[in-house]
Amino acid sequence: MYVSPTKALAQDQLRAFRDFVPQKWQHLFQTYDGDVPHSERSHVRDAAAVMLTNPDMLHCNMLPQHRQWAAWFASLRYVALQ
């Protein structure tokens, strides 16, 4: 998990990650922010191996719904804060 102070910075980092990794793995890098439509959020949660988010989404969306995120958080190995 990569937590940036703003969603714009997370989007910039996502582009940098995707430039760095082979195309076949790019789908594993996902942002989870206010711009992700509600209808796609469960897909992002299920598909992402690396989640880029911001403190607001972590506090207001992910942690209050911790049961839905339990499997993802259980597999979490690293948290990077910027």
Distance CA 29, CA 17 (A): 8
48: left (phi over 0), alpha (psi -120 to 50) or beta: beta
Q: What is the pTM of this model?
A: 0.87
Amino acid 68: pLDDT: 93
Residues in the chain with pLDDT values less than 70? none
